C-alpha cells in the first residue's frame, strides 16, 4: 500500500502533527503511516491516532514519498545504521531533529531531498511556531507540502539555514522563559494573598490574551505596552521596576545564549 506521508517516530511532536493534519483535512488517516520499534508504543499510537503503525522504519520509507524524521538528534545515527531504509531520489526527508544540519542529513540520504524543520513544544496544542530550510533540489511542491503540514499546528515560516539557530532560541527555547514568567507572576499572586491555582490561571490567560492581542492588532509591542500604561498609574511603576532590574537585557542575553548553545550542539552531529 502507498501512503501520502510517513513518520519515523510517534512521540509527542509526531502525534501532534498527525492530529493537526488530520483535523485540518490535509490527509486522511488511511494516508498516513508511522513506525515505532516498541510494541506497546505502536499499539498506543494506533489507538490514539487511528493510523497504521509498524515496527520497521524501512516499511515507512518504502510506502511513502514524504517521510518525517521525528526522533531525537542523538538517535539519528542509530536509525540510519539499524537497517537499509531505502531512501532514494523520489523521497523527501523532513527532519525535526534539533541541531542536525541539511548537510549532515544529506550524508545519510544523498539522493533524497531534505527539509530541516524547527518546531516548538506549543505545536502539541496546535499553536506552534515553526521555521524551515531546505536543500537546493527541493521543488515548490515540496515546500508547499511542508508549509501546509506545519501550519496545521501553528504558524510556519521559511528561513535561511544559517538563521535556524536563532529560530531555535526565539521560538524553540523561549517557551521555557514564558513558563518562568507565569510561575513568577503566580508567586506574586500568592504573595498578595491569591490562591496559587487561580494565580497561575490568571497569569497564563493574561499571557495568552496578550499574545493574541499582539498578533491580531498588527501593532508594535511597545505601542500596546503604552496603551496599558496610564500616566502616573500603577502599570508604569511596574514597568520601571522591570527596566531597573534589567528584564529586557536579561531576555536578550538569554535568547543569545540559547542560539550560541544551539550552534555548539549542531557541530556534534
Could you tell me the pLDDT band of residue 267, with boundaries at 50, 70 and 90? confident
Where residue 58 falls among pLDDT bands split at 50, 70, 90?
A: very high
Confidence check: pLDDT of 80 > 80: yes
pLDDT digits (tens, 9 = 90+) for 166-212: 999 999 999 999 999 999 999 999 999 999 999 999 999 999 999 99
Give me the residue label for grid cell 505545536: 123
Average pLDDT of the residues in 107-132: 95
pLDDT (mean) for 73-77: 89
Average pLDDT over all residues of the chain = 94
- Per-residue model confidence as pLDDT tens digits over 139-170: 999 999 999 999 999 999 999 999 999 999 99
Quick one: pLDDT at residue 1?
62
Counting other chains too, the contacts that 102-111 makes at CB distance below 8 Å and 24 or more residues apart are: 102/133, 102/134, 102/135, 102/161, 104/269, 105/69, 106/135, 108/76, 108/80, 111/87
pLDDT value at 6 more than 80 = yes
Amino acid at each position: 500500500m502507498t501512503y501520502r506521508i510517513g513518520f519515523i517516530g510517534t512521540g509527542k511532536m509526531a502525534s501532534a502533527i498527525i492530529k493537526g493534519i488530520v483535523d485540518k483535512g490535509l490527509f486522511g488517516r488511511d494516508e498516513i503511516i508511522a513506525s515505532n520499534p516498541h510494541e506497546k508504543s505502536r499499539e498506543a499510537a494506533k489507538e490514539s491516532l487511528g493510523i497504521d503503525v509498524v515496527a520497521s522504519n524501512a516499511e515507512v520509507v518504502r510506502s511513502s514519498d514524504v517521510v518525517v524524521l521525528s526522533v531525537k538528534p542523538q538517535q539519528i545515527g542509530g536509525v540510519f545504521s539499524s537497517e537499509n531504509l531505502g531512501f532514494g531520489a523520489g523521497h523527501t526527508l523532513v527532519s525535526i531533529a534539533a541541531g542536525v544540519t541539511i548537510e549532515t542529513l544529506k550524508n545519510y540520504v544523498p539522493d533524497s531531498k531534505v527539509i530541516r524543520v524547527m518546531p516548538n513544544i506549543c505545536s502539541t496544542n496546535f499553536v506552534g511556531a515553526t521555521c524551515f530550510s531546505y536543500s537546493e533540489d527541493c521543488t515548490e511542491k515540496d515546500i508547499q507540502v511542508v508549509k501546509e503540514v506545519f501550519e496545521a499546528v501553528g504558524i510556519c515560516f521559511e528561513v535561511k539555514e544559517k538563521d535556524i539557530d536563532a529560530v531555535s532560541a526565539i521560538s524553540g527555547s523561549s517557551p521555557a522563559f514564558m513558563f518562568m514568567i507565569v510561575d513568577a507572576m503566580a508567586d506574586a499572586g500568592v504573595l498578595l494573598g491569591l490562591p496559587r491555582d487561580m494565580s497561575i490561571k490568571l497569569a497564563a490567560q493574561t499571557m495568552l490574551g496578550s499574545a493574541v492581542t499582539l498578533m491580531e492588532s498588527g501593532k508594535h509591542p511597545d505601542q500596546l505596552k503604552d496603551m496599558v500604561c496610564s500616566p502616573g498609574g500603577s502599570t508604569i511603576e511596574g514597568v520601571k521596576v522591570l527596566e531597573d532590574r534589567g528584564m529586557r537585557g536579561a531576555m536578550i542575553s538569554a535568547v543569545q545564549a540559547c542560539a550560541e548553545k544551539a550552534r555548539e550542539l549542531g557541530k556534534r552531529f
